[in-house]
Amino acid sequence: MTVAQPSAVEIGLMAGRAGYVLRANDRGAFTVASPTLYPHMWSWDAGFVALGIATVSVPRALNELRSLLSGQWATGMIPHILFHSPSDYFPGPERWRTQVAAARPAGVLTSGICQPPIHVIALSRILHDARRKGGADQELAEEFVRETFDSWLAWHSYLATARDPYSYGLVEIHHGWESGMDDSPRWDAAYANVRVGDMPPFVRADLAHVADPSQRPTDAEYATYLWLLEQKVHARYDDAVYRATGDFVMGDVLVSALLAAASDLLADMGEELGIGGGASGGVEQSRAIARRFRTGVLRSVNPETGLARDLDLRTGTWLDVESAAGFAPLLCGGDDALTRRQRDLLLGPRWCGHSRLRWPVVPSVSPASPAFREQTYWRGPQWPVLNWLMAWALNRSGEQEAANQLRLAGLSQLVDCDFAEYYQPVTGETLGSRDQSWTAAIALDFLA
Ligand code: 9WN
């Protein structure tokens, strides 16, 4: 499909407006994920936000990551939300009750679960940008990597140990929110087996901020999310206790692929800057993590569909769902023939090239799948950050032409400058929150 490319004027406007959105969402040391629906700092959002801000200000981008690290738990976990000020977001800190956890950080309120490890991918991109700019930016970025190398290693090591205790090579998640794709059909079968038990009553706050409730998860799904949160509290946020008592334990391929890619990049930065050396040093540890999780992701691929699969660790069942997470191998690489097969699949008629799509941009679920829903959250809509990730992965595998196709289509989708959370893939309508920080951030990166 040929896409009309944004004009020079549109590009100029888009860059200006994206910068404006990020400045408006800036609360000093951190950026809110969106102005009303998500008025706090979210973990994987912060990674994307940092790489977008870096195109404008390297010091401010580094501060975003520094701020995120202020919430790191003693286990190494980077929590999925840092609550910096009171708001109507639900569930807030009073629901997470992280005071039951010995490992929580001092002086900052956080949630008690995590999100995909995108951060070191962002950091390596920021370092690359800073080196291109040279001078003070380069010095600051290199100093930041030296200063924070061990914290990132601790984060990755947490995922590789506490979340993969039997060395399957798949990171275990304990909540759909940890996948970043809350209501994805990836989790339907597992959620169907969860029986919601006794818990405090709750009132959802999210629906007040969207035009139509069908754009968000259902009430039944929310009850399940809150029940799993309750189970984490009962386990005092101890991963081993939760594993033995909790209802949702999944090997997540996308998280695993990001961990593999991020670990390689951390090792690369360590080597370049002469940190983390020696046989038992951080560079070697990172390479070992990358190898284990790359192998885990490649092993999960269904040879018939060519897509990677999540593993339900409670039942031992592989989950065949045509979600964008199936392209996890593109992110971590390791099998050139599979990379080419996935490239063709992604650009082909079951995915970006599907005839009903308004723009040939990565949909969260294949439009050819029975699970596809046009306007429901992670069940089909296009999320610009996912498209960015796939373009990044293709570029890294030497597939520049394919990467550029996704980039141009992604920019055309954003030309209205709404910077929405997600897009109706058939009509092109904007959905969810507007002025979403990570959407503005990836636009800046695509334009840089
Ligand atoms: C729960 C902030 C986050 C994203 C997630 C997205 C959504 C939260 C919610 O918003 O999740 O963490 O309340 O729906 O699914 O990927 O990080 O933008």
Q: Where are the domains of the chain?
A: 8-447
* Spacing, Cα 95 to ligand 1 middle (Å): 16
Segment (H or E) for 293? helix 282-299
Banded model confidence at residue 215, pLDDT cuts 50, 70, 90: confident
Banded model confidence at residue 1, pLDDT cuts 50, 70, 90: low
Radius of gyration for the chain, computed over Cα atoms and rounded to the nearest angstrom = 20
**Which residue among 31, 41, 42 is best mutated to probe the pocket of ligand 1, counting the most ligand atoms within 8 A of its Cβ?**
42
**Which residue among 38, 181, 222, 422 is best mutated to probe the pocket of ligand 1, counting the most ligand atoms within 8 A of its Cβ?**
38
Query: Shortest CA distance to 70 belongs to which of 148, 173, 174, 160?
Result: 148
pLDDT digits (tens, 9 = 90+) for 357-369: 999 999 999 999 9
Alpha-carbon separation of residue 324 from 79, 220, 346, 352, 430 (angstroms) = 24, 24, 9, 11, 20
The reported pLDDT for the residue numbered 278 is: 77
If you take atom 5 of ligand 1, which residue's CA is the nearest one? 180
State the DSSP code for 7.
Answer: P
Banded model confidence at residue 209, pLDDT cuts 50, 70, 90: confident
Banded model confidence at residue 5, pLDDT cuts 50, 70, 90: confident
Does the pLDDT at position 211 exceed 90?
no
pLDDT digits (tens, 9 = 90+) for 313-353: 999 999 999 999 999 999 999 999 999 999 999 999 999 99
The reported pLDDT for the residue numbered 86 is: 87
In b/e form, how buried is each residue of 99-111, taking b as 16+ CB within 10 angstroms?
Answer: eebebbbeebbbb
Fold of 8-447: Glycosyltransferase (1.50.10)
Residue 26 annotated as catalytic: no
420, 439 contact by CB (below 8 A): yes
Strands 41-42 and 81-83: antiparallel
If you take atom 16 of ligand 1, which residue's CA is the nearest one? 180
The reported pLDDT for the residue numbered 280 is: 73
The β-bridge partners of 114 are 79
Mean pLDDT of the chain: 96
Dist CA 433 CA 438 (whole Å): 11
* Spacing, Cα 287 to ligand 1 middle (Å): 30
Compare 279 and 23 and report the one with higher pLDDT.
23
Tokens of 115: 């999100």
Residues with CB under 6 A from ligand 1: 33, 38, 42, 44-45, 80, 177, 180, 182, 206
73, 105 contact by CB (below 8 A): yes
Q: What is the mean pLDDT of residues 262-291?
A: 94
Dist CA 417 CA 386 (whole Å): 18
The reported pLDDT for the residue numbered 276 is: 86
Does the pLDDT at position 241 exceed 90?
yes
pLDDT digits (tens, 9 = 90+) for 405-431: 999 999 999 999 999 999 999 999 999
pLDDT-wise least confident of 150-159, 195-204, 210-219, 434-443: 210-219
Residue 416 annotated as catalytic: no
What letter represents residue 347's amino acid?
Answer: L
Catalytic member of 182, 188, 271, 429: 182
Tokens of 142: 């290199």
Query: Shortest CA distance to 428 belongs to which of 374, 350, 369?
Result: 374
Phi, psi of 83, rounded to the nearest 5 degrees: -95, 110
pLDDT digits (tens, 9 = 90+) for 64-111: 999 999 999 999 999 999 998 889 899 999 999 999 999 999 999 999
Q: What is the pTM for the complete model shown? A: 0.98
Q: What is the mean pLDDT of residues 178-187?
A: 98
Alpha-carbon separation of residue 267 from 78, 125, 148, 152, 182 (angstroms) = 19, 14, 13, 11, 30
Q: What is the mean pLDDT of residues 122-134?
A: 96
The reported pLDDT for the residue numbered 4 is: 77
Q: What is the mean pLDDT of residues 291-311?
A: 98
**Which residue among 177, 383, 442 is best mutated to probe the pocket of ligand 1, counting the most ligand atoms within 8 A of its Cβ?**
177
The reported pLDDT for the residue numbered 80 is: 98
